[in-house]
Amino acid sequence: MLDGGHLKQMKMNRIWTLGLMAVAGAALMAGCNGGSSTEGETAGGGSSKPAAGGNLTGSISIDGSSTVYPIANTMAEDFGKANSGVKLDVTKSGTGSGFKKFIDGSLDICCASRTIEKEEVDQLKAKGIDYIEVPIAFDGVSIVINPANDFAGDLTADELRKAWAPDSTVQTWADIRAGFPAEKITFYGLTNNHGTYEYFTEKIAGKKNEIRKGYQANQEYAPIVTAVSGDKNGIGYMGYSYYIENKDKLKAVKVNGVEPTPETIENGSYAPLSRTLFMYVSKKAYDTKPEVKAFFDFALGDGLGAVEENEYIKMPQEAYDLVKARLSEGKTGTIFMDAAGGKSTLDILKEAAAK
């Protein structure tokens, strides 16, 4: 497991390397072509000279979860270094919005911070769109407070539900637990097109897609970080990687005495907020677009470095091997949507492989 220092260094190395590539590539193309160039676009919106042996062309469209976006974007950047003839369009409109585009047939890959839902499955079936479900990493939804808050660092799931439930009457910290100060709480989080919102409302608020009144919803994570870090009585939630990137500004709340860490998220003891992140790929795109198949060959191999580099948690290698087998065999549909509660991602994949 990489620590924070190594991860930051990896990111600095990436920026430095991409910068050198851009400068060297521009100089080389200018020298060879008299200042004109024809370059392939990368996910970051820049461009680079094709690496030796990179002969793929075409395009890959990826959208969906803003939580999965850092993983997908880094994978696309790295894939693009050797395949600059492939145009990579990676955006983050939210899980729900991503699935709408996937159902419309305008996406090759939909990133999701939750499993696909029955309504989405039915809509895809009605459109004749087959898909392959690809779990890619683990994440833990992190409850965050202001670092100056020295009393609410460990809350139970029941106390969180009491505060966030649609019918909640909680207004002050004292309403959550006797002995806490009677100071008014401000609640921050995401808009309802995010998979993280859906997951949080189901696991904590107690009713999917419903949340307390007096809740400040945000489309992006950055405003939540800014708000909670500047509000001593603020509380919010976000993906683990966004908390880690801002841990100098925020404090993570323990849930039932368990702190969100790579270890507790991987082993599921950070409950009920440990979750699996997904990519859903169009079967047609996977079968007919060599660039999409090549992307997943990379993503589930060398590209997995993007998971830890962006401070998410990798699955066991056996799980990735089973995912690769499902792709190779073209096994469509969801095995996670109706999986029994309490089963690990690896167990779900093993059971599906045994059928």
pLDDT digits (tens, 9 = 90+) for 34-88: 333 222 333 433 333 333 336 899 999 999 999 999 999 999 999 999 999 999 9
What residue type is 207 in one-letter code? Answer: K
Asked, as a colleague might, if the bond just before 316 is cis with ω within 30 of 0, I would say no
266, 290, 312 - which closes a domain: 266
Tokens standing for 215? 């809740």
Please check whether residue 231 lies inside any domain of the structure.
yes
What residue type is 240 in one-letter code? Answer: Y
Please check whether residue 35 lies inside any domain of the structure.
no
Q: What confidence tier does 341 reach under pLDDT thresholds 50, 70, 90?
A: confident
Number of alpha helices (DSSP H) and beta strands (DSSP E) in the chain: 15, 14
Average pLDDT over residues 234-242: 97
Tokens standing for 66? 């803003």
* pLDDT value of position 14: 52
266, 283, 313 - which closes a domain: 266
Residues 134 and 172 in one domain: no
Residues 120 and 14 in one domain: yes
Range of the domain at 123: 4-24+56-138+275-354
Residues 15 and 109 in one domain: yes
Residues 120 and 19 in one domain: yes
Q: Is the pLDDT of residue 5 over 80?
A: no
Please check whether residue 38 lies inside any domain of the structure.
no
Tens digits of residue pLDDT in 126-180: 999 999 999 999 999 999 999 999 999 999 999 999 999 999 999 999 999 999 9
Residues 168 and 235 in one domain: yes
Please check whether residue 30 lies inside any domain of the structure.
no
* CB atoms inside a 10 Å sphere around CB 31: 9
Indicate the number of domains in the chain.
Answer: 2
Tens digits of residue pLDDT in 261-293: 999 999 999 999 999 999 999 999 999 999 999
Q: Is the pLDDT of residue 16 over 90?
A: no
* pLDDT value of position 54: 63
Residues 240 and 306 in one domain: no
Compute the residue count for the chain. Answer: 355
